[in-house]
Chain A
């Protein structure tokens, strides 16, 4: 089974700085998602992305967040001005051709100081 990859695996940043998290998709997948998981809490949906557009976003996904797939390959999540409460694991996920199963990346652990 092909694997979703994410970079970096860990990121430490100062509050107010911009971070970009990257996801390398599996070929032929069309639906992409970002989720986050604060330590000890449940996995939470952030945004879904299809056909180069956001199809749904959660209340968490405010104006500080953006997503894009700039070159048709990498799928990125940008946080413009990080806050302490953005510290979490961020998971990229892709939906397979059966449009049901989602394949998750290993995550990026973001720590905002």
Chain B
């Protein structure tokens, strides 16, 4: 079955540094991969989508890479700020083409001032 793995350990970094989060997947070749942000007690908020034919995507301080050979996506936040502290979720569309998303367990990022 399709499986998504994110680093379950929390990532603690100093303000101003670059945070890098990893998402690995197996048993699937997705047409695209998405990253969401989730704050405690809130719903996921869409951040970025990257397609299988794209190597890299940027949006402001965010950058996502997608390596379909390694079956891995990296999510970078440059010049991190305490407000970036949240849980970041990687999601793939399921193979059934109904739009359902399969989520990783998320990585919690803590940016210290």
Stretch of A62-70, A77-85, A105-113 lying at the B interface: A105-113
Residues of B within 8 A of A41 (CB): 105
Shortest A60–chain B CB gap in Å is 12
**Across the interface, do A48 and B100 meet the contact criterion of CB distance under 8 Å?**
yes
In this assembly, does B113 line the interface, its C-beta being within 8 Å of a C-beta of chain A?
Answer: no
- Chain A contact patch, size range: 20 to 34
Given contacts A91-B44, A104-B43, A104-B44, contact A33 B99 (CB under 8 A): yes
Residues of A within 8 A of B94 (CB): 45, 56
Residues of B within 8 A of A107 (CB): 41-43
* Residue among A31, A42, A43, A101 making CB contact with B46, cutoff 8 Å: A101
**Across the interface, do B49 and A42 meet the contact criterion of CB distance under 8 Å?**
no
Task: Jot down 30 A-B pairs with beta carbons below 8 A, ordered by A.
Answer: A33-B99, A33-B100, A33-B101, A35-B101, A42-B105, A42-B106, A43-B38, A43-B103, A44-B103, A45-B101, A45-B102, A48-B98, A50-B98, A56-B98, A56-B100, A89-B41, A93-B43, A93-B101, A95-B99, A100-B32, A100-B34, A101-B34, A102-B99, A102-B101, A104-B36, A104-B45, A106-B42, A107-B42, A107-B43, A109-B41
Chain B residues in the interface with A (C-beta under 8 A): 32, 34, 36, 38, 41-46, 49, 89, 93-94, 96, 98-106
